[in-house]
Structure 1
């Protein structure tokens, strides 16, 4: 754990930003509180045979490798950060949660916005062009992907004309895109993505596994702990020695590909089925599998519930891995899992409440191992992984 226990934040002190609602609490006490919350909420599913591992702590600053900045102000005095209830922009470009590389990129981005003439979108007036700037940085190489969320496509060609200047200012920049979100609602991004660079995806390497992050792929904000989370899931899997693995809600394949790679190292032959509804994420996962020469594998761009409902009992896996969105696995799928007699389930969750609800629908399973990963310091949120075993 970091030696620092308190994070000094002027925006919090002045009441301008309350995203980190646990900021006044010493970090070691934040972690103790989260561990207590975890055990307390899952107490009805924990028995004397459950192994509760110590939590994985985080640095208290510089741990966020993604930034989602609301754009406001004027093109000559653009503000990156958030907007308060009065519609006023609050500058968060010095937020200590972001990496040094992300913080240092903001000056170049402001200059680019001015050069191209990307007028910040004014919510009350419903005028302007630039709504958000989304930044992703890789943990392994510090490379950057920048997405400009725009109201329309009018300035896209001018952005291309000045792209070389942005690359000169940001040597680690690899991917730039324009996302078109024309709806006057608080929606982060639209369906249309225009990639402006030759590179279409960032290459992140965690646990010796290359993962390709394209503009619309979900990826963790805390890759340092994501690497440890994937490795923990792999160690859980190696102990099981599964012959067939399903990875549902697989994204770009972080869990499944790491598991299969670790099984390969242990000479454990296993087949992986990866299911994800986003086609671009599946393309990225297949690219990784090819690079690692993992042949006994298949990825499909499908809804996880529909996939599971159309599989015969003979095709069920020895190990099921699920990493669902915050809402959880979903009632239909979780009930199918409960009746399936799949021997082992590894469930990774970013929402303890939806995990608790899903576990209540899994009476045929018991928790063997549980561990907390503090992906979100200074907030009540955290990631948790559990390994479940069928009671039979």
Structure 2
């Protein structure tokens, strides 16, 4: 369903933020043109109608760069010169995120958190990252240059009592470069887990966990992938780049051997916890998705891949010569998807569908099913 009307954004109209490059294009046309671009990149195959998003209020995560001063902080993005542009009421964000922004601004003031100034390389507070669950709970990450401000943050955490906070953590990122987070994460309050209940499955997000930014469209993506998998009815499935286990746990069935592989240890721990809570027969392993065994008696019948934007690279050739009979590929980059499909001539595309995870931009999530020729 397409949400009624088009998105109105005062920030865009005032030229304060032009990140939504297609905002002036009617949404129905955005979808049609997106579909045409993606079809032109990939081999001919049947396509289901694209899955539309709400035009606003769909983003479950806000990555707010903090600038300005303690007395007058800005939460939003940085201009070319490093100064802050305040976007607290961004209409893309889910309502619990928008509602939390004034409280976070007050925390900055009361805890005397000096915003990091990029031009002078001074200050402490770099970003506030806020994630909202389908149940309306929030997880907050405070990205700092050092631990200097931690005692003041702990002292004023009571300010967040008015918010449905499940987790608060501090991430230390001391370097002056365009990297969002550092290696050290410190839990300050709550459980450190935000439950994302998707299609009845309680996926667990820890501070460093990846999850799609559009919850409703992600739920549809999982449903469609699961429907294709169930239609193929594999006895074994391997979910590569599995994150917190979304595809694998949706596809877990009695009698089906399901496994997942992911580099991030905390994501694997979360996937294991969800599997245990569900009673699902699914195993998850920390490892390099590109190096898994795809041969022999334990080779999976079906492989799901959901890689970063760079795609699966050399894994495509390994899949092509493997014992795997079917691949379900979920991609956030149609260009690398097309490259990887071309590197697997032993498979033919069965069908595809576009999921508009990122309205008002040319970005999209594409789901493609491939079967052995």
**Shorter-normalised TM-score: what interval?**
over 0.9
Which residue is 2:277 aligned to?
291
- Candidates 273, 281, 288, aligned match of 2:267: 281
Aligned-pair CA distance for 1:367 = 0.8
Q: Which moved more, 1:339-348 or 1:155-164?
A: 155-164
Q: Does structure 2 conserve the Cα–Cα contact (< 8 Å) formed by 1:146 and 1:176?
A: yes
Alignment of 1:353 with 2:335, yes or no, is yes
- 1:132-211 equivalences in 2 (<5 Å): 132-139=127-134, 141-167=135-161, 169-170=162-163, 172-211=164-203
- Candidates 196, 220, 243, aligned match of 2:235: 243
Which residue is 2:35 aligned to?
35
- Candidates 305, 312, 322, aligned match of 1:340: 322
Aligned-pair CA distance for 1:17 = 1.2
* CA–CA separation in structure 1 for the residues paired with 2:22 and 2:372: 37
- TM-score normalised according to structure 2 size: 0.98
- Candidates 373, 376, 380, aligned match of 2:358: 376
* CA–CA separation in structure 2 for the residues paired with 1:387 and 1:142: 33
Which residue is 1:313 aligned to?
296
* CA–CA separation in structure 2 for the residues paired with 1:56 and 1:158: 45
Q: Does structure 1 conserve the Cα–Cα contact (< 8 Å) formed by 2:3 and 2:53?
A: no
Equivalent position SS for 1:314: coil
Query: Per-residue CA shift, 1:119-176, capped at 9, x if unaligned?
Result: 000111111000000010002x010001000000111122122212212x21x11100
Q: CA RMSD in A?
A: 1.1
- Residue correspondences, number: 373
* CA–CA separation in structure 1 for the residues paired with 2:203 and 2:340: 29
Alignment of 1:300 with 2:285, yes or no, is yes
- Candidates 214, 219, 224, aligned match of 1:227: 219
* CA–CA separation in structure 1 for the residues paired with 2:81 and 2:65: 14
Q: Does structure 1 conserve the Cα–Cα contact (< 8 Å) formed by 2:193 and 2:207?
A: yes
Which residue is 2:21 aligned to?
21
Q: Does structure 2 conserve the Cα–Cα contact (< 8 Å) formed by 1:5 and 1:28?
A: no
Equivalent position SS for 2:166: strand
Change (3 A) 1:312 1:388: closer
Q: Does structure 1 conserve the Cα–Cα contact (< 8 Å) formed by 2:237 and 2:259?
A: yes
Q: Which moved more, 1:6-15 or 1:340-349?
A: 6-15
Equivalent position SS for 1:315: coil
* CA–CA separation in structure 1 for the residues paired with 2:218 and 2:231: 20
Q: Does structure 1 conserve the Cα–Cα contact (< 8 Å) formed by 2:103 and 2:159?
A: no
- Candidates 258, 272, 282, aligned match of 1:272: 258
Alignment of 1:329 with 2:329, yes or no, is no
Query: Per-residue CA shift, 1:221-280, capped at 9, x if unaligned?
Result: 1011111101111111111111111000000000110111xx34xxxx111111000000
Structure 1's unaligned 5+ residue stretches are none
Aligned-pair CA distance for 1:3 = 4.8
Change (3 A) 1:33 1:19: same
